[in-house]
Amino acid sequence: MFTLFNPDRSGKLILATKPNRWDWALLPLVLAVLAALAFGAMQMSRPFTVGQPTPISLDPAYLPYYLLRTIMRMFTALGFALVFSFVFAAVAAKYRAAEKVLIPLLDVLQSVPILGFQAIAIAPFIALFPGNLLGVECAAIFAIFTSQAWNMAFSLYQSMRTVPPELNEAARVFRLSAWQRFWRLELPYAMPGLLWNMMMSMSGGWFFLVAAEAISVANQDIKLPGIGAYIAVAIDAENSAAIVYAIAAMLAGILLYDQLFFRPLLAWADKFRFEESQGEHAQQSWLLDWGRRSRVISALSDRIWATLRGTLGWFSRESERAAAPPARTASAPWRARAWDALILLAAAYAAYRFVVFVHSDVGWGEAAHVVGLGFVTLARVMILIALASLIWVPAAVWIGLRPEYAQRVQAVAQFLAAFPVNLLFPLVVYVIAAGKLSPNIWLSPLMVFGTQWYILFNVVAGASTLPNELRLAADNLGLKGWLKWKRVYLPAVFPSFLTGAITASGGSWNASIVAEYVTWGKTTLVADGLGSYIKEMTDAGDFHRIALGIGVMCVFVMLLNRFFWRRLYLIAEDRGR
């Protein structure tokens, strides 16, 4: 048992492990990160009153400061999204009764546009921290959280439901408790897919960053210092040079946290691959290599892991002697029927309240119009997801089976997934106006521009966890061409593809707000659809019609998931283990 600090004769704690050259190499980096975090945290809690102007300068000298504020918000939201995913996936995967409520609830949450969450959350957060900028910061973090959490939760849930039977049997033989089972089996098995979805979540946060940092609700215009607000001001000013500066700053930020955070995590998580032999190429990280060579960092990490093992009870003897619980907890038959009846009653009451709301506040003619717009957006979503799948599934399988190439395209894929569609507005407006093209057709690709990457990231994660023994067995059997894809690759990545397709579908509905309503300076292009309707009502501050648009969007997403994606997911769960 080692100690990181030992007391000297005077009682002061001194470092027990002597630093080596790698410690001194890492010291400036650690100090720089800590200083930046401290400075950014102080700036997030400055005095603020509603209505006070928050000027955003387009001088590129301010971009490093704006980048720091943005990355801090995104990682704060990512931390909350990770905790949410742990709780949500564990409860939904282990309890059938909870699953019947939580999975439809997740469908609703991922379909609610970020503007809908923002309109509801901005006032309570400002009231929670009166006279302080922290309230607006919390509202922005919450908005970013809503663009990150749902795909992470669904990825972890999907992985927990598809743990191989032999691993479940081993957990029962070792009599692991439910707590130990999560930390020692289910989470490690899900780790590769979860990490790729965390990267996608960060990119999703960038995609909706303008809406999160440039808050405009009911004629209130609040801009927080950050890259998103910088982009919003540049678009209003039609400043193309500032757009280029913002793209460069965003690329620098993505490369920075890719090297300092995600690349080390992916290299560390390579040990969780479900195979008996190591693949030919493992993920590499210079920072992780430095940390492993550092005496102080190694000692500190050992201390942290020892503390976690003790705190989380990973090796509790009492739990090991206890009988292992079943993988999924089912209620008694009468309790299950009572719970189903309660869910039906709640759904019937919600439908009744929605009918009353439509009848009294907006009218049936308006509701029929919004439903028609929903079918227009539905057609766009399904066509674009099908086209994106045809392109990215083969590419993702090829990348996932070659870790050396996955490392090269990792940062590039993150950048493309993070690229806010708002930055394409100048080009889109120019092309459509110059060619006199129809916005209903040519604005559609913007919907899938930021969401197609859910398919790429999830399929890459699924292909990267394909056991090397299975690939060698396929080669020994002489499987080639389409037969190899049909018998090995496609069944192996099918559950991961569905996770990506479901989240991409929900994200496309969400992205319709920025894709169907494009503004560049004084030029506005509007395509018919639910997204443009919600955007127009949000700008007008018409909360009744905002609620109608969001409600109809939630109904469309729930029906699509229930009668299409859910059926495919059950097939993947049964046949894709």
- Examine residue 518 and state whether it is found in any structural domain, yes or no: yes
> How far is it, in rounded angstroms, from Cα 340 to Cα 63?
53
What amino acid is encoded at 60 in this protein?
Answer: P
Which candidate, 43, 95, 151, places its Cα nearest to that of 499?
151
Residue 526 backbone phi and psi in degrees, to 5:
-125, 130
491, part of any domain? yes
pLDDT at position 6 is 54
> With contact defined as beta carbons under 8 Å apart, do 40 and 69 qualify?
yes
Judge whether 159 lies within some domain.
Answer: yes
Residue 89 burial by CB count (10 A; 0-12/13-18/19+): exposed, middle or buried?
Answer: buried
Tens digit of pLDDT at every position of the chain (577 positions): 445 555 555 555 445 567 777 778 888 888 888 888 888 888 888 887 776 777 888 999 999 999 999 999 999 999 999 999 999 998 988 888 888 888 888 877 877 777 667 767 777 887 888 878 888 888 889 988 988 888 889 889 988 887 888 888 888 888 888 888 888 888 888 888 888 888 888 877 887 777 788 776 555 677 889 998 898 888 888 888 898 899 899 888 888 888 888 888 888 877 776 554 444 556 677 788 888 788 777 777 777 777 766 666 554 444 444 444 445 555 567 777 787 788 888 878 888 887 888 778 788 888 899 999 999 999 999 999 999 999 989 988 888 887 777 667 766 777 777 676 667 777 787 788 788 888 888 888 888 776 788 888 888 878 877 777 777 788 788 778 788 888 888 888 888 888 888 888 877 887 787 788 887 767 788 888 888 888 888 777 777 888 888 888 888 888 888 888 878 877 776 665 5
Per the structure, the count of domains in the chain is: 1
- Is 5 within a domain? no
pLDDT score of 317: 43
pLDDT for 315: 46
Q: What is the DSSP letter of 466?
A: S
Q: Where are the alpha helices (DSSP H) in 363-451?
A: 364-400, 403-418, 425-435, 439-442, 445-449
Quick one: which H or E segment has residue 286?
helix 286-293
Residue 218 falls inside a structural domain: yes
433 falls within a domain: yes
Q: Which domain holds residue 442?
A: 57-273+284-330+363-575
Q: Alpha helices of 294-363 — where are they, by DSSP H?
A: 295-312, 317-321, 333-357
Decide if 322 is inside a domain.
yes
CA atoms within 13 A on the CB side of 254: 27
Cβ atoms of 119 and 172 closer than 8 Å: no
Using CA atoms, how far apart are residues 246 and 423, in angstroms rounded to an integer? 9
Question: With contact defined as beta carbons under 8 Å apart, do 393 and 400 qualify?
Answer: no
Please check whether residue 565 lies inside any domain of the structure.
yes
Strands (E), 481-569: 517-520, 523-526
pLDDT of residue 217: 55
Query: CB-based contacts of 360: which residues, under 8 Å, 6+ apart?
Result: none
Q: What's the CATH code of the domain at 471?
A: 1.10.3720.10
- Asked if 177 contacts 316 with a C-beta cutoff of 8 angstroms, the reply is yes
